[in-house]
Structures are given as structure tokens and as C-alpha cells.
Structure 1
Amino acid sequence: MPQHDGRHTAETTHRSVPSPGGRIHLVEQGSGPLVLLVHGFPESWYSWRHQLPAIAAAGYRAVAIDVRGYGRSSKPAATDAYRMLHLVEDNVAVVRALGEETAVVVGHDWGSPIAANSALLRPEVFRAVGLLSVPYTPRGGPRPGDVFARMGGEEELYVSYFQRPGRAEAEIEPDVRGWLAGLYAALSADTMPAPGAPDPHFVGRGATMRERFPAGRLPAWLGEKELDFYAGEFERTGFTGALNRYRNMDRDWEDLATFDGAPVTQPSLFIGGGLDASTTWLADAIEAYPVTLPGLVSSHILDGCGHWIQQERPAEVNRLLTDWLSALPA
């Protein structure tokens, strides 16, 4: 069906395919080698709307999914249904349902560790991996929940704030559109709080996240129509499925113990935003790429770019992705 993103109309096909958790909704365009696009929080397949036509035009079968718990994909009730092992198997199920043996997997935000772990756990399926915004960090160190709990000091890191079921939902769901607008603005280059302002990644004791979000102005990449799309998806689904990803970090740490310190060896790509906390806080992880991503083809930091990089800088990201894809072994 046609999808209009405000700049161009492109023919895309929507369908759902079987997965271990029920069904995965996907959007595909083009033909050729399969490129699987995995979104992050709080987004949907729609965050790849600029990449689908560009990757298809470059000679690939571009497929963007709604991750389990999002959009039109299944939303299992159990919190532990959102552990990393299950999300990897969802990706494998999509590849198989599309009649393919292998795929390139590309992820943004939470999609980045989902993509990296797909490549790590199922290297026979995922022949190359692209990581956007969130660098690869091998499993290791102390339990993640303990690490994040210590990061806030007198305040609380958003990751810890998300842990208790129902707590963040109570903040977000009465005004999904307003909350999304604020979060997207807080992490976008042109609308993020000024240096020295209270950090929106942290929550004051007894406060809410939205108290630190910018108000009254949308980032340049986000029009009212795009915001309406995202808000409509989450108003229908609620936020529990999306937040359950955060609620499985310690479970993932236990599940992946045998992969402690393991590198991802397939050909890889990293693109980060110069103003994105995911990039700056994890600078040591990027420096470790010669060890952790020995197959790294190229790594790029986009100056003056925030967190939503494939939407903030679609032309640049499309060029980097398609150049990288064209250089991969057949």
C-alpha cells in the first residue's frame, strides 16, 4: 500500500508473519538481498520510512519490522517474553518466513543491541550488522540493574525509572502524544536542552520524566503528521510491551553468560550522533571496536546530530548504509 512520509510516496507492502511470540508485522520494499531493519524505543517500523525506499533503490529487499510489543506485532503478556533471546528468534523467524536463508540486520537504539545479538547468536543467518546510535558493548561486568541504579546519585536514571511495571505507563499513557513529542524533542539536536540544563535522561526523586522535556517546539525532522502516526500506534498498544525490553536487562545478562566478552565478527557498521548521550557516554565502547567488532568496515559520528539519526539525517544515513551494503561480500 502507498505510504506518504511528507516528502515522497513509495510503494510498500505490509504483512504479518508467524514468530515464536505470535506474529511480527513488517513493511517491505524492493527486491534483492534481504536487509532487516529493527527500530528502538519508543518507535516503530515507521522510523525507517526514509531508508526503505533508498535501500530498495540500491538493489535490496528492505524490510522494517514492528518489534514484539510494538505496533501491529504480537504483544505477549509475560514480562519475560521480551528477553533478548526471544527477540533474536523473532528476527530469525522473519528471515525464514520471507523465504530467505541469510540477511543483513541493521538496528537503531534498542534495535542496535537486538541486531548485534542476532549476529552474535545466529551468525549463520545474519551475515553483517549495522548499528545506529547505540554502540556494541559485549555482555560482561556487574549486573546491569545494579550499574544503572548507581548512575543517578540523588536522581534516577530513566532506565531504572522504567523498571517497575506500571510506573512509567502511569506517566506516559494519559497523554501519549505530548510525552512522545517531549521525548523526541529532548534527544534531537535542534531542540534538546541547553548544556547545563537538567538532563532529561535523569528523573528527580518523586518527579516524572516529562518535567525535563522541552515544551512547545517539535524538532525539524518531526512534523505533526509523523507525530500523529507514532502517537496513534502507542495509543492503541499502550507502552508496556515497549517498556518490557528495559525490564529484561538483568535476565539478558543471565541468559547470555556464555557469551561474556564475545566479539561480533561479521562485517559491521556504526553510525552515531555527535550530540547523542548514547554515543558520548559509551565512548569507551567505540574505542574498543578493534577488539569487540573486529569486522568493522566503517564507523561514523555525525557532527551536530542527536539520537534519532536516521530521521534527523536521512540522506547522510542512507548514503552511509548503501555504501556499506554495496561493499559487503556477496
Structure 2
Amino acid sequence: MLILLRPDTHSCGGRTTAYLHAGRADAPLALLLHGFPDTPHSWNPLAEGLVEAGFRVVAPWLRGYAPSSPAAGDDHGPSSHVRDVAALAQVMGADEHTLLIGHDIGAAIAYAAALRHPDLFGRVVTLSVPPPAALSAVMTSYAQLKRSWYTFAFQHPAAEELIVADNFAFLRGLWTDWSPRLDPTPHLDHLRAALPDREHLSAALGWYRAMFQPNPSDQALATEQSAAGGRVPKPWLYLHGTDDGCVGAEVLQYVPGGVPLHGVGHFPQLEAPREVLLHLRKFLESDSGTSVGD
């Protein structure tokens, strides 16, 4: 059964953030952030378990993914996403009981959001992309550079045309490389709807372009994260598939307390939702979580 059935929108600062939601209005909030190339529909298997566990689930389309709107200019780097998440969390009544879950880029946003807004998020769960310090530890290896080739391809002015060619064959290739046992077809259908034109696609690629040409607010965010020593300032759970073709599982050696998901690729919430929920329930029932550096 698919739980995420009700779309809605929130407007702030001239932009619209669209999201899927389910659960009782008075239940604790679980805010779920998708990655690239993905949409909030990928949270459906996990959302069902969260609602049954008593959470109110909210899963937004990230900035630039329709029906969320792009921003004017090139404001699509990490800081802009953190502002979006904080604004949505406040509207949804986030507090110390709020659960923040992020996958891929959504994980990177979650680290920064938890660091900047510790009053809005009680616990943090991330999948498939570790905190900046751990990711930096493996990024210069040949094996990881080979996996991350697409981030360099996205800097090219023709990247948008490459992606849409042959009915998004480029993105199908990424999904297949990252999770070989997962059929990407239904998720690509959602992606085509989320990236209907060049404006939205350029906005989605803006995250990767900001990696090489960050604006001042992104540079300030990176400085804050560096000063924090890679810590996540909340109880935290990290899950990573051992067969992840996007970020190699060797990164787990740099994440104390990180949980390996054996035989799982880059999309654990789709490939092993029951296992993810099992770890999540244990984490929520524990007295404390783990932070990098502990």
C-alpha cells in the first residue's frame, strides 16, 4: 500500500515547495529528503512504516524539482536547500521530537540543516552519503573518483541535453550503475515529471555546479561544517549499502557507528525498506544515537 497519497504546497520567499504527506496532524513530524536523480515517491515504502509507527510524514520535492519551483538565478546550492528545509519544518511545527531523514543529496542537506537548526530536529537518519569529513576521506581515491565521474560531466554546458537524450537514458544508466538489482523504470517516470524542462533540469544540476562554483552563502556553510569537525549535532543513524555503486562502502570505515546493509545498493529505502525500518525502530527506541567524532 502506498501511504504518500496527498500532495500539498508551501509558499515562502516567492518560491513554492511541493510535498507529499500522510499521518495524523498531531503526530510527531518525520521530514524525508530525497536525492538525485530521484523524487519523494521513493520514500513510499518507508513512509508506510513510519506512519504505522505514529509519525506524520512530509516528503518535499527539492528546490527545482517540479512541482516545487526553481529559484531565480543560480541559487540552488546547499545553503538554499537548507533554508527551504528549515522553512518547511517550521511551517509543519517541527520541534525536538522531529525526525529528519535524508538520502543522497538529501543526506547532505540533512547534515547542514541539523547543524544550523538544532532546535528543529530531534534525531537524524541518513542513507548512502556520509558527512563531509567522511566523504572527503575517500573522494580522492581513484575508485571513488571513477564512481563520481557524473559530477564532473554535470559541469559541461551541454549536460542538460545529454541527460534528456534518448528518454533520459543517462539517468537510467546512473540508477543501474548504483543499484544494479533495482528496476528504475517507475522512478524514471516520476523523474521525467519532476524535470519537465530545461529550467527545472538546470536547477537540479545547480547543486553539482555549486560544488565547483559556490556562492558566498555556500562557502559560509562549508566553513561552518568544517569548524564542526564533521559532527552531526543530534542523535544520528547512518545506513550504507555494501553494493552501493555511487559511494563505495569503504566510506563506512570513516563513519563510527555506521550500519552496513549487505547486498544493498544506493537506494536502501527501495531495495531493503524492511531492513531500514528495523534499524530505524531500534534507533528510535534507543536512549541515544551516534555522532561522528564520538
Contact 1:148-1:157 at 8 Å conserved across structures: no
Q: In 1, Cα distance between the equivalents of 2:22 and 2:47?
A: 6
Partner of 1:42: 37
Q: In 2, Cα distance between the equivalents of 1:254 and 1:163?
A: 22
Contact 2:7-2:18 at 8 Å conserved across structures: yes
SS at match of 2:210: helix
Aligned residue runs from structure 1 range 214-225, under 5 A: 219-220=182-183, 222=184, 224-225=185-186
Is the alpha carbon distance of 1:58 and 1:123 closer, same or farther for their aligned partners in structure 2, counting shifts above 3 Å?
A: same
Is 1:83 aligned to residue 77 of structure 2?
A: yes
Structure 1 range deviating more: 300-309 or 245-254: 245-254
Distance apart, 1:270 and its partner CA: 0.6
Contact 1:176-1:235 at 8 Å conserved across structures: no
Q: In 2, Cα distance between the equivalents of 1:115 and 1:40?
A: 11
TM-superposition CA deviations, 1:229-262 (whole Å, max 9, x none) = 3323223564211110011124234543143241
SS at match of 1:16: strand
Partner of 2:195: 234
Contact 1:15-1:26 at 8 Å conserved across structures: yes
The one-letter amino acid of 1:187's match is: W
Contact 1:107-1:130 at 8 Å conserved across structures: yes
Rg comparison, structure with higher value: 1
TM-superposition CA deviations, 1:242-296 (whole Å, max 9, x none) = 110011124234543143241113100011010114542652xx33434xxxxxx
Is 1:113 aligned to residue 105 of structure 2?
A: no
Q: In 2, Cα distance between the equivalents of 1:62 and 1:53?
A: 9
Percent of counterpart pairs with the same letter? 29
| Greater per-residue helix proportion | 2
Distance apart, 1:12 and its partner CA: 2.8
Distance apart, 1:57 and its partner CA: 0.7
The one-letter amino acid of 1:183's match is: L
The one-letter amino acid of 2:277's match is: N
Structure 1 range deviating more: 320-329 or 263-272: 320-329
Partner of 1:160: 152
Distance apart, 1:70 and its partner CA: 0.8
Partner of 2:205: 243
Q: In 2, Cα distance between the equivalents of 1:141 and 1:300?
A: 19
User: Aligned-pair RMSD on alpha carbons?
Assistant: 3.0
Is the alpha carbon distance of 1:58 and 1:87 closer, same or farther for their aligned partners in structure 2, counting shifts above 3 Å?
A: same
Contact 2:103-2:128 at 8 Å conserved across structures: yes
TM-superposition CA deviations, 1:142-177 (whole Å, max 9, x none) = 9x9xx699x869x9822122123x321120123344
Q: In 1, Cα distance between the equivalents of 2:17 and 2:141?
A: 31
Structure 1 residue runs of 5 or longer lacking an equivalent are 1-7, 191-218, 291-297
Partner of 2:279: 320
Is the alpha carbon distance of 1:227 and 1:84 closer, same or farther for their aligned partners in structure 2, counting shifts above 3 Å?
A: closer
The one-letter amino acid of 1:54's match is: G
1:187 to 163, 167, 178: 178
Distance apart, 1:63 and its partner CA: 0.9
Partner of 2:269: 310
The size of the alignment, in residue pairs, is: 277
2:239 to 261, 268, 271: 271
Is 1:178 aligned to residue 183 of structure 2?
A: no
TM-superposition CA deviations, 1:18-65 (whole Å, max 9, x none) = 234611111111131111000000111111111111101110111111
Runs of 4+ in 1 over 4 A off after TM superposition: 139-142
SS at match of 1:14: strand
Is the alpha carbon distance of 1:86 and 1:11 closer, same or farther for their aligned partners in structure 2, counting shifts above 3 Å?
A: closer
The one-letter amino acid of 2:80's match is: H
TM-score, normalization: structure 2? Answer: 0.83
Distance apart, 1:118 and its partner CA: 0.6
Structure 2 residue runs of 5 or longer lacking an equivalent are 289-294
Contact 1:110-1:134 at 8 Å conserved across structures: yes
Q: In 2, Cα distance between the equivalents of 1:82 and 1:54?
A: 31
Contact 1:135-1:282 at 8 Å conserved across structures: no
Q: In 1, Cα distance between the equivalents of 2:121 and 2:103?
A: 16
Partner of 1:197: none
2:56 to 55, 61, 78: 61
Partner of 2:131: 136
Is 1:257 aligned to residue 196 of structure 2?
A: no
